[in-house]
Chain A
């Protein structure tokens, strides 16, 4: 069991900055994120896009911002549970919480701060009527274990980097690889497109374009897919696996079932006070929350994180008096033993 003071769900900019603000109050943080690396949407979707409204940065790339935020948190030694999605929450008798991920990792925390942004990123599922019946029975949206496809027939659908790269990779693993895309053009890295072309020419990848998978054949598991190709009658391809790779889409996910008050896909909070949800001890900050006048901006997330940490401190230490200090005056004491402080002025008597 991982224990911490504040469990932060979501390792995007707001979640990362929470670590710093909590650290100033000597509170330990642990972050959970469904993505395999911290940074959230900034690092996953648009790391090379410039952001212009971060105070003191006339322009900064989203990836650089998250990199700097991670650097800023290091002195407070946050823990990370990455590549796992917060699934369930159980409130304990003493008011603390146990949050369990989809992989069974348990976290015990005094405070839970949901900084989930747009939600957890989940695979976009194609519009095939019976596809849900075959999930994990031959339909996989993410390739987790390539050996699953050893000597099997595989149909991949999609036209981006992911579809191209896995098609190339699986030619050395699967007995047969078919790549189906709605267009003749593929929008991936040039290297990947050329490699697929080469493998197609060698007969190692069967390509069907412009075409779409419209149905899945099978009873207990996938045995084939129904394909519609422009200008031809629909036909069936025998396969053991169908892997649709159409990118990721953010969903609120299991958090929506935690008993929190939800409005328009966002979590309602008390913005007049401390960004606490309707469940005491659970806060929601950043893009995931809503309140009158809410603006989904990174800088607003930073502000909300700061106020939320003050409230969390008072909740954890109801009898302790805390006086807010400026870092220019009080310095920063890292949990790793480091100390940062402004240099002291030299005082010398004049004789």
Chain B
């Protein structure tokens, strides 16, 4: 088992140092949920299927992220508050390559 260290800035602007496991098939949205960094019911509404954009985040570090799928790209085309560094948290798996990841949660819609 290998844990990784990531920084998540919540919707109130508070940055949290978070330790995330890489052996539980978790994605970033699930990490946010497990640490309760966003109010229940406001993140991962679709369950992590790239269908709601409630887990949109801005990636501030230069980690090599998984390539964006068509579904994620389509969802971000419809979402609000989208920036060039926007990704859906549900599509970012916690792997050793995510060590040092820094993200900011997009505003709730």
Are these two chains actual partners, yes or no?
Answer: yes
Interface residues of B in 53-109 (CB under 8 A from A): 54, 70, 73-74, 77-78, 80-82, 109
Q: A124-B109, A264-B40, A265-B39 are in contact. Are A45 and B77 (CB under 8 A)?
A: no
Q: Is the CB of A264 within 8 A of B52?
A: no
Most chain-A Cβ atoms within 10 A of its Cβ — which of B40, B49, B77?
A: B77
Tell me if A158 counts as interface (CB < 8 A to partner B): yes
Q: Report A-chain residues with C-beta under 8 Å of the C-beta of B73.
A: 187
Q: A187-B73, A264-B41, A265-B39 are in contact. Are A127 and B52 (CB under 8 A)?
A: no
**A182–B84 CA distance with the chains assembled, in angstroms:** 12
Q: A45-B51, A124-B109, A187-B73 are in contact. Are A160 and B78 (CB under 8 A)?
A: yes
Interface residues of A in 272-297 (CB under 8 A from B): 290
Q: Is the CB of A45 within 8 A of B81?
A: no
Tell me if A250 counts as interface (CB < 8 A to partner B): yes
CB closest chain-B residue, reference A162? B78
B: interface residue count bin: 10 to 19
Q: Is the CB of B52 within 8 A of A160?
A: no
Q: Report A-chain residues with C-beta under 8 Å of the C-beta of B81.
A: 127
Q: Is the CB of B42 within 8 A of A265?
A: yes
Q: Report B-chain residues with C-beta under 8 Å of the C-beta of A41.
A: 46
Q: Report B-chain residues with C-beta under 8 Å of the C-beta of A303.
A: none
Q: Is the CB of A126 within 8 A of B40?
A: no
Tell me if A266 counts as interface (CB < 8 A to partner B): yes
Partner of B51, one of A46, A187, A252, A265: A46
Q: A45-B46, A265-B41, A266-B40 are in contact. Are A185 and B77 (CB under 8 A)?
A: yes
Q: Report B-chain residues with C-beta under 8 Å of the C-beta of A126.
A: 80
CB closest chain-A residue, reference B54? A249
- Chain B nearest CB: distance from A150 CB in Å? 28
**A49–B78 CA distance with the chains assembled, in angstroms:** 20
Tell me if A218 counts as interface (CB < 8 A to partner B): no
Partner of B78, one of A45, A159, A252, A290: A159
Q: Report B-chain residues with C-beta under 8 Å of the C-beta of A264.
A: 39-41
Tell me if A80 counts as interface (CB < 8 A to partner B): no
CB closest chain-A residue, reference B82? A182
Q: A249-B109, A264-B39, A264-B40 are in contact. Are A182 and B45 (CB under 8 A)?
A: no
Q: Is the CB of A246 within 8 A of B78?
A: yes
Q: Is the CB of A182 within 8 A of B49?
A: no
Tell me if A118 counts as interface (CB < 8 A to partner B): yes
Interface residues of A in 20-57 (CB under 8 A from B): 41, 45-46, 49
Q: Is the CB of B45 within 8 A of A118?
A: yes
Q: A182-B82, A266-B40 are in contact. Are A250 and B77 (CB under 8 A)?
A: no
Between-chain CB contacts (< 8 Å), 13 pairs: A45-B46, A46-B51, A118-B45, A127-B81, A158-B78, A187-B77, A187-B78, A247-B78, A249-B45, A250-B45, A264-B39, A265-B42, A266-B41
Lowest 9 CB-CB distances: which A-B pairs, in order? A265-B41, A264-B40, A187-B74, A159-B77, A127-B80, A183-B77, A246-B78, A45-B51, A160-B78
